[in-house]
């Protein structure tokens, strides 16, 4: 072709392709980074609304079981008043009630991170139901495709009955391992009926571990009651 006979044609074409690739990548990364919504999920009574209220108003207020989402745009600041994130974040507290919690999926496409709150004092008894909810969040296609990071905030560390974070991790991993086995049959059914598939969690043939997931799952202890929320605010600051 006559155009390609020009000695400058190939370098020009390469430069053009590189420029388009750079523009495309910038667009993709900007879009991902521009998500500034953090979801507060977890079973009922874990302390989600208490956490929301503490981060929003920096105070402790009595809460009752939530029947609808609490949403706010807020600026998290250090003790000296300087913002810890580049721009304000949106915080959405989704009720833990089993009939209402499913609404969290509507927000996943705009979610930068999930704060999954658990009650460290009752998790021994509620590990299975808590793991079921966490499993749903982790196996959701949006979570894995967009690599949404999850902070499992082990709340109520102020109470002496609180289990250590390492124990909570072992409990949740063991329950997710069990659930994964029972759910894989359901996934096969979904595939054959053409329904939306959920992701297989971890590695086949190996016991489930959070570290096997592509998205970061961090567990950390906190106490909304004592205002000990450094693990939450630092985690948000790192992602923003
Ligand atoms: N001791 C202690 N109690 C807490 C802490 N955080 C929350 N609570 C208490 O736990 C109870 C439940 O807190 P909520 O914030 O209403 O729970 P929730 O997760 O929003 O529950 P739902 O709205 O039903 O999904 C309240 O009585 C809180 O005062 C904590 O860090 N320590
Ligand atoms: Mg609530």
- What does the domain layout of the chain look like in residue ranges? 35-239
Q: How far apart are the first and last CA of the chain?
A: 50
Inter-residue contact 156 to 120 (CB < 8 Å): yes
The tens digit of pLDDT for each residue in 107-162 reads: 999 999 999 999 999 999 999 999 999 999 999 999 989 999 999 999 999 999 99
The tens digit of pLDDT for each residue in 47-68 reads: 999 999 999 988 777 778 989 9
Q: Is the pLDDT of residue 3 over 90?
A: no
| Residue located nearest, by CA, to atom 11 of ligand 1 | 45
CA dihedral (91, 50, 231, 178) positive or negative: negative
Q: Which residues, at least 6 apart from 214, have a Cβ–Cβ distance to it below 8 Å?
A: 144, 147
β-partners of residue 83 are 77
| Residue located nearest, by CA, to atom 10 of ligand 1 | 47
User: Which residues surround ligand 1 with Cβ inside 6 Å?
Assistant: 42, 44-50, 63, 65-66, 95-97, 155-156, 158-159, 223-225
Confidence (pLDDT) at 197: 57
Inter-residue contact 39 to 89 (CB < 8 Å): no
d(CA 163, CA 153): 12
Q: What is the mean pLDDT of residues 94-110?
A: 94
d(CA 33, CA 42): 24
**CATH code at 35-239:** 3.40.50.300
Q: Which ligand is nearest to the CA of 154?
A: 1
Please choose from 39, 45, 100 the residue to mutate so as to test ligand 1's pocket, defined by most ligand atoms within 8 A of CB: 45
d(CA 15, CA 20): 9
β-partners of residue 89 are 74
Tell which residue, 121, 126, 145, 111, has the closest CA to residue 39. 111
CA-223 nearest atom, ligand 1 = 31
**How many other CB atoms are there within 10 angstroms of residue 168's CB atom?**
22
Q: Write out the residues surrounding ion ligand 2, Cβ under 5 A.
A: 48-49, 66
Q: Is the pLDDT of residue 88 over 90?
A: yes
């Amino acid at each position: 072709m006559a155009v390609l006979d020009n000695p400058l044609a190939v370098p020009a074409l390469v430069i053009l392709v590189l420029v388009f690739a750079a523009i495309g990548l910038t667009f993709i990364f900007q879009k991902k980074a521009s998500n500034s919504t953090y979801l507060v999920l977890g079973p009922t009574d874990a302390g989600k609304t208490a956490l929301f209220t503490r981060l929003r108003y920096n105070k402790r207020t009595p809460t009752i079981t939530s029947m609808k989402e609490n949403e706010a745009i807020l600026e998290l600041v250090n003790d000296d008043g300087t913002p810890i994130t580049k721009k304000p974040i949106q915080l959405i507290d989704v009720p833990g009630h089993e009939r209402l919690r499913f609404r969290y999926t509507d927000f996943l496409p705009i979610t930068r991170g999930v704060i999954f709150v658990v009650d460290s004092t009752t998790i021994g008894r509620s590990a299975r139901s808590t793991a079921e909810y966490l499993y749903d969040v982790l196996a959701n296609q949006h979570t894995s495709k967009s690599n949404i990071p999850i902070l499992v905030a082990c709340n109520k560390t102020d109470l002496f009955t609180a289990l250590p974070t390492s124990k909570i991790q072992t409990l949740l991993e063991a329950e997710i391992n069990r659930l994964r086995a029972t759910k894989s049959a359901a996934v096969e059914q979904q595939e054959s009926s053409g329904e939306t598939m959920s992701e297989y969690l971890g590695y086949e043939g190996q016991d489930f571990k959070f570290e096997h997931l592509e998205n970061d799952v961090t567990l950390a202890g906190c106490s909304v009651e004592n205002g000990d929320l450094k693990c939450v605010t630092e985690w948000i600051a790192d992602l923003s």
